[in-house]
C-alpha cells in the first residue's frame, strides 16, 4: 500500500470522529497491524514516544499526517521534547545482530547527534546511497595534488620554500588577488606532509560522519564557507601573506562539531568524549602554533612571507557561528530558522566588505606586498 492509500485509509476509518484534532495511538497501531501497512519502524517508534509525551496517550492528527507524508519531523521532535518521556535511552546500543556497516551507522549516530529520538530517526532511515562523497573527494584531490607537486619538486616538507611552489595557479597570493579562483583553490595545496596528514585525518574522522548525518549540501557549504573566509580574512589582516592548505575548512568542521558537543554535553553519548575533546583541542592548538612559528620565525630563509595562520582562526569562527546553526538543525529546514538568516546575513556582509577591501584598500593604504612569483 502506498502513502496516498494509507492517508485515504486513515480518513475513511474516521479515526477522529469528534474532530478533536487528536487520535489514540493504540487505535492507529491496531489499524497498521490489521492492514499490514508498510510503515517505517522509526515512525512507529516516534508515534509511541509522542503518545507517551502526553497524559491521554493521543497523537495530533495533523502531525500524524505530516509524518506519514514524510515531511520534516520538527513538530514531532518538539512535541516529544515538551513531554515527560522520550524514546528508550538504551534501545539502539543494545540492538543485537547488526552487521559491520549498521554498527558503523549506529556509531556515527551516537557520535554526531545529541538526542535519542534523532539517533533513532537517522539510524532507521539511513541509506548508503548516496555515500559521503564530498569530504572523501576533497581529501583524495588534496593527496593527489600533493603527490604531484612532491614528485615534481622532489620536496615533501616545507614545500613553500621551493621557488617553483608558489608559482602554482592554485595558491592564494596577494599579488594575484584578481584571480578570484585562488581564494578557494588554495585548499588543495599544503606546506608539507605534516599539514596534509593533519587535515586529511580530521576531514575523514570528523567530516565524513558529519556528511553522513547532515548531508552533502550542508557540509560542503560549511567547509567551503570556512575555506573562503580563511583566504579573505588573510587578505584583510595579513595583507602580505599567501595562503595554502585546507585548514579554514577543516577548522570550520572541527569547531562546529566541538561546539555542538559542548552545548549538548549531557545528551552526547560518544565514548571518552572529554578525553577526545582535549586531544582535539591540543591537536588544533599545536597546528595553529606551528603555523604561527612558520609565519614569524621561519626555520629557513625565504624569498617572501610564509603562509598566514589567520585562515585557521577564520575557519573556527565560521564553524562556531554558521556550523553550529547547521548541526543543531538536523531534520529541520534551515530557511525556517531566524538564526540561520542572521548568520547568513553576517557572512554575506563580511564577504562584501572583504571584496571591497581587496579592490580598494591595498592601493589606499599603500600596502607593500611581495611581487607575485
345 burial level (CB within 10 Å; 0-12, 13-18, 19+) = exposed
Cα–Cα distance measured from residue 200 to residue 210, given in angstroms and rounded to the nearest whole number? 15
Cα–Cα distance measured from residue 78 to residue 148, given in angstroms and rounded to the nearest whole number? 51
Q: Which of 173, 214, 257, 312 is catalytic?
A: 312
Which of helix, strand or coil describes residue 24? strand
Q: Which of 220, 247, 255, 308 is catalytic?
A: 247
Q: How many CB atoms lie within 10 A of CB 324?
A: 22
Task: Write the DSSP assignment of 27-60 as a string of letters.
Answer: HHHHHHHHTT----HHHHHHHHHHHHTSTT-EEE
Which of helix, strand or coil describes residue 190? coil
Helix extents (H) in the chain: 3-12, 25-34, 41-52, 61-68, 74-82, 100-112, 116-125, 133-153, 182-185, 193-202, 208-214, 216-237, 247-263, 273-296, 310-318, 324-327, 338-356, 362-365
Cis peptide before 112 (omega within 30 of 0): no
CA atoms within a 13 Å half-sphere pointing along the CA-CB vector of 196: 23
Residue 278 makes CB contacts below 8 A (sequence gap 6+) with none
Q: How far is CA 31 from CA 16, 22, 34, 37, in A?
A: 13, 16, 5, 8
Is 257 designated active site?
Answer: no
Residues in a beta bridge with 172: 243
Is 33 designated active site?
Answer: no
Q: Which three cell numbers stand for residue 333?
A: 529546514
Cα–Cα distance measured from residue 244 to residue 130, given in angstroms and rounded to the nearest whole number? 30
Query: Which residues are the active-site residues?
Result: 247, 312
Amino acid at each position: 500500500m502506498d502513502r496516498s492509500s494509507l492517508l485515504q485509509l486513515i480518513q475513511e476509518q474516521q479515526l477522529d470522529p469528534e474532530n478533536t484534532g487528536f487520535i489514540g495511538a493504540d487505535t492507529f497501531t491496531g489499524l497498521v497491524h490489521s492492514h499490514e501497512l508498510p510503515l517505517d519502524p522509526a515512525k512507529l517508534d516516534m508515534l509511541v514516544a509522542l503518545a507517551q509525551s502526553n497524559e491521554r496517550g493521543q497523537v495530533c492528527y495533523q502531525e500524524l499526517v505530516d509524518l506519514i507524508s514524510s515531511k520534516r519531523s520538527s513538530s514531532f521532535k518538539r512535541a516529544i521534547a515538551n513531554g515527560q518521556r522520550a524514546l528508550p535511552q538504551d534501545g539502539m546500543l543494545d540492538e543485537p545482530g547488526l552487521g559491520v556497516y549498521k554498527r558503523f551507522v549506529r556509531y556515527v549516530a551516537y557520535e554526531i547527534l545529541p538526542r535519542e529520538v534523532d539517533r533513532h530517526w537517522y539510524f532507521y532511515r539511513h541509506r548508503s546511497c548516496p555515500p559521503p562523497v564530498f569530504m572523501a573527494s576533497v581529501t583524495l584531490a588534496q593527496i593527489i595534488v600533493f603527490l604531484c607537486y612532491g614528485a615534481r619538486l622532489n620536496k615533501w616538507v616545507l614545500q613553500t620554500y621551493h621557488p617553483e611552489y608558489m608559482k602554482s595557479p592554485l595558491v592564494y597570493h596577494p599579488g594575484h588577488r584578481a584571480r578570484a579562483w585562488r581564494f578557494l583553490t588554495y585548499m588543495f595545496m599544503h606546506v608539507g606532509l605534516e599539514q596534509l596528514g593533519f587535515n586529511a585525518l580530521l576531514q575523514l574522522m570528523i567530516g565524513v560522519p558529519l556528511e553522513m548525518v547532515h548531508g552533502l549540501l550542508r557540509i560542503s557549504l560549511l567547509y567551503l564557507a570556512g575555506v573562503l573566509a580563511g583566504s579573505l580574512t588573510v587578505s584583510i589582516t595579513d595583507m602580505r601573506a599567501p595562503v595554502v592548505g585546507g585548514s579554514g575548512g577543516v577548522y570550520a568542521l572541527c569547531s562546529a562539531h566541538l561546539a555542538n558537543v559542548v552545548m549538548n554535553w549531557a545528551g552526547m553519548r560518544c565514548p571518552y568524549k572529554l578525553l577526545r575533546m582535549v586531544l582535539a583541542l591540543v591537536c588544533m592548538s599545536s597546528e595553529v602554533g606551528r603555523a604561527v612559528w612558520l609565519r614569524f620565525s621561519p626555520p629557513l630563509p625565504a624569498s617572501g612571507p610564509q603562509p598566514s595562520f589567520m585562515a585557521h582562526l577564520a575557519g573556527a569562527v565560521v564553524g562556531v557561528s554558521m556550523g553550529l546553526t547547521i548541526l543543531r538543525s538536523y531534520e529541520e529546514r534551515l530557511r525556517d530558522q531566524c538564526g540561520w538568516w542572521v548568520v547568513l546575513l553576517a557572512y554575506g556582509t563580511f564577504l562584501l566588505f572583504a571584496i571591497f577591501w581587496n579592490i580598494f584598500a591595498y592601493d589606499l593604504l599603500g600596502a607593500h606586498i611581495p611581487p607575485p612569483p
